Amino acid sequence: MKKFYACLAGNWVCLNDDPKSMIVSDLQTTLLKFDEGIPKYDKLFRHLLLEAKSNIYIYVYYKGARYKISPVFIQIMDGDN
Protein backbone atom coordinates (compact mmCIF):
# COMPACT_ATOMS: atom_id res chain seq x y z
CA MET A 1 0.00 0.00 0.00
CA LYS A 2 1.18 3.52 -0.70
CA LYS A 3 2.15 5.69 2.26
CA PHE A 4 1.75 9.44 2.03
CA TYR A 5 4.06 11.69 4.01
CA ALA A 6 4.00 15.45 4.47
CA CYS A 7 6.36 17.83 6.20
CA LEU A 8 4.08 19.76 8.56
CA ALA A 9 5.62 22.51 10.70
CA GLY A 10 9.05 20.94 10.27
CA ASN A 11 8.02 17.36 11.13
CA TRP A 12 7.45 14.54 8.66
CA VAL A 13 4.17 12.72 9.38
CA CYS A 14 2.43 9.79 7.69
CA LEU A 15 -0.97 10.96 6.47
CA ASN A 16 -2.18 7.36 6.47
CA ASP A 17 -2.15 7.49 10.29
CA ASP A 18 -5.15 9.84 10.34
CA PRO A 19 -8.22 8.47 8.52
CA LYS A 20 -9.61 12.02 8.28
CA SER A 21 -6.50 13.54 6.70
CA MET A 22 -6.89 15.15 3.28
CA ILE A 23 -4.92 17.13 0.73
CA VAL A 24 -6.88 19.85 -1.04
CA SER A 25 -5.77 22.35 -3.64
CA ASP A 26 -7.96 25.40 -3.17
CA LEU A 27 -9.98 24.57 -0.05
CA GLN A 28 -12.58 22.99 -2.37
CA THR A 29 -10.94 20.38 -4.60
CA THR A 30 -10.03 17.23 -2.66
CA LEU A 31 -6.87 15.61 -4.02
CA LEU A 32 -6.37 12.89 -1.40
CA LYS A 33 -8.62 11.35 1.21
CA PHE A 34 -8.78 8.00 2.95
CA ASP A 35 -11.65 5.51 2.77
CA GLU A 36 -11.33 2.95 5.57
CA GLY A 37 -7.55 3.41 5.56
CA ILE A 38 -7.23 3.06 1.80
CA PRO A 39 -5.98 6.20 0.03
CA LYS A 40 -8.08 7.65 -2.80
CA TYR A 41 -5.88 9.93 -4.85
CA ASP A 42 -7.05 10.03 -8.47
CA LYS A 43 -6.21 13.70 -9.01
CA LEU A 44 -3.22 13.97 -6.70
CA PHE A 45 -0.21 13.13 -8.87
CA ARG A 46 -1.15 15.29 -11.83
CA HIS A 47 -2.05 18.20 -9.60
CA LEU A 48 1.15 17.99 -7.53
CA LEU A 49 3.24 18.15 -10.69
CA LEU A 50 1.38 21.20 -11.94
CA GLU A 51 1.43 22.94 -8.55
CA ALA A 52 5.13 22.31 -7.96
CA LYS A 53 5.92 24.05 -11.24
CA SER A 54 3.71 27.07 -10.52
CA ASN A 55 4.82 27.49 -6.87
CA ILE A 56 1.26 27.45 -5.52
CA TYR A 57 0.49 26.04 -2.09
CA ILE A 58 -1.71 23.11 -1.16
CA TYR A 59 -3.60 22.50 2.07
CA VAL A 60 -3.16 19.43 4.26
CA TYR A 61 -5.69 18.49 6.93
CA TYR A 62 -4.09 16.30 9.56
CA LYS A 63 -5.30 15.46 13.08
CA GLY A 64 -7.72 18.37 13.25
CA ALA A 65 -5.33 21.05 11.94
CA ARG A 66 -4.98 22.68 8.53
CA TYR A 67 -1.51 23.29 7.09
CA LYS A 68 -0.60 25.36 4.04
CA ILE A 69 2.50 23.87 2.43
CA SER A 70 4.38 23.73 -0.84
CA PRO A 71 3.75 20.55 -2.88
CA VAL A 72 7.46 19.73 -2.65
CA PHE A 73 6.84 18.69 0.98
CA ILE A 74 4.75 15.66 -0.05
CA GLN A 75 6.46 12.27 -0.29
CA ILE A 76 4.81 9.07 -1.54
CA MET A 77 6.29 5.69 -0.63
CA ASP A 78 5.18 2.52 -2.35
CA GLY A 79 5.78 -0.74 -0.53
CA ASP A 80 4.71 -3.20 2.10
CA ASN A 81 6.26 -1.37 5.08
C-alpha 63/C-alpha 55 separation (Å) is: 25
Every domain of the chain and the residues it spans: 2-78
Please spell the DSSP secondary structure of 29-80, one letter per residue.
SEEEEEETTEEE-TTHHHHHHHHHHHT--EEEEETTEEEEE-GGGEEEEES-
pLDDT, tens digit, for every residue of 7-60? 999 999 999 899 888 888 766 666 666 665 556 665 665 666 565 556 578 889
pTM (predicted TM-score): 0.72
